[in-house]
Amino acid sequence: MLTLFFAPLVSITIFPISSLPILFTLYILSGFGMAGIGIMHDAIHGSYSNNRTVNKLMSYTINLIGTNVEVWRLQHNVLHHSYTNVEEHDDDINAPRFLRFSPHSPKTKLHKYQHIYAWFFYGLTTLTWVTVKDFVKYKRYFRMGLIKDRKEYRKGLLRICLSKVLYYSIALIIPMIFSSFSIGAILGAFIVMHFVTGFVITLIFQIAHVTPDTSYPLPNEDGDMEYERLVHQLMTTCNFAPKSRWLSWFIGGLTNQIEHHLFPHISHVHYKDIAPIVRQTADEFNLPYYSCDTFISAVVQHFKMLHFLGKMETQYVYSKYD
């Protein structure tokens, strides 16, 4: 995946390419490489290797694709995995106002059409990551107390800036300087690359949690959740295409989202082996185990949920699971 990301960009820089279709094709291939760099996902969870140094080194591959390891760790490991599908706490469903991923979010008239227009905005996701999102999120996490002090906050901002400089140099500036293409052509191909990456990554994460089956539990008046962590993850997560080896390889085992949310410290290469045990145990204790047989069926279910959330009024129910 690292090769798929870097090789097209290197080719644009060192080979005498003058065809715009080839330019856009190479950037699109690089976009798939960005989407498939799952090394960082396992590494940030500490499950890529038994060696902490190796995990730390591999986690920095996320900086090579324009976002930041510290922001990702806080958004994904700390918030998403701790508060999966919990309104205002899980940043994966804390969408802009024109998108509604939770039945507890306020509904507007515009949401009626989100099942049509949401897909376009999915493609813009990583463009916001590499421009403003990391800075906005990092500031928010500082205010939430997830960053220990102002000195560490300032150091983190510097690291984010340096990672952006590195990424833009690789993906944009060097091709602009050394290729035969105009600045406009490179910029256009760069945007298309990110549209591909953003669409793929966002779809992968949304079809695992925003579905007609998954729940959106809320804390009680004391701020406590009714169900403990493992049950909560079963209620709020859905597998898709669990038998697809190539898709599992491409997205780092995230087809087995249930197993990942139950055991994020375990390398994804073991999910296919522990999945039957998890499913059998869930059945034994009469707990949910949601799974779509194919990727397409999961996308269809997500489409249905977007349509449903676009029509459904705000519901402050604790949980759909009984």
Q: What is the percent of the chain where pLDDT is above 90? A: 83
How big, in percent rounded to 5, are the helix, strand and coil portions of the chain?
65, 0, 35
CA distance 15 to 79: 44
Residue 30 CB burial class (10 angstroms; 0-12, 13-18, ≥19):
buried
Q: Indicate the angle between helix axes 183-206 and 295-311, nearest 10 degrees.
A: 90
User: CB-based contacts of 202: which residues, under 8 Å, 6+ apart?
Assistant: 122, 123, 125
Give the amino acid at 11: S
Q: Is the pLDDT of residue 213 over 90?
A: yes
- Alpha-helical runs (H) found in 88-223: 114-122, 125-128, 134-144, 150-168, 174-178, 183-206
CA distances from 285 to 189, 214, 219, 225, 278 (A): 51, 18, 23, 19, 11
CA distance 36 to 59: 14
pLDDT in tens, 246-301: 999 999 899 999 999 999 999 999 999 999 999 999 999 999 999 999 999 999 99
Confidence of residue 307 (pLDDT cuts 50, 70, 90): very high
Confidence of residue 102 (pLDDT cuts 50, 70, 90): very high
Mean pLDDT within 176-188: 94
Q: Which residue has the tokens 């493609």?
A: 123
Judge whether 160 and 74 are in contact, CB under 8 Å.
no
CA distance 46 to 75: 16
Mean pLDDT within 183-192: 96
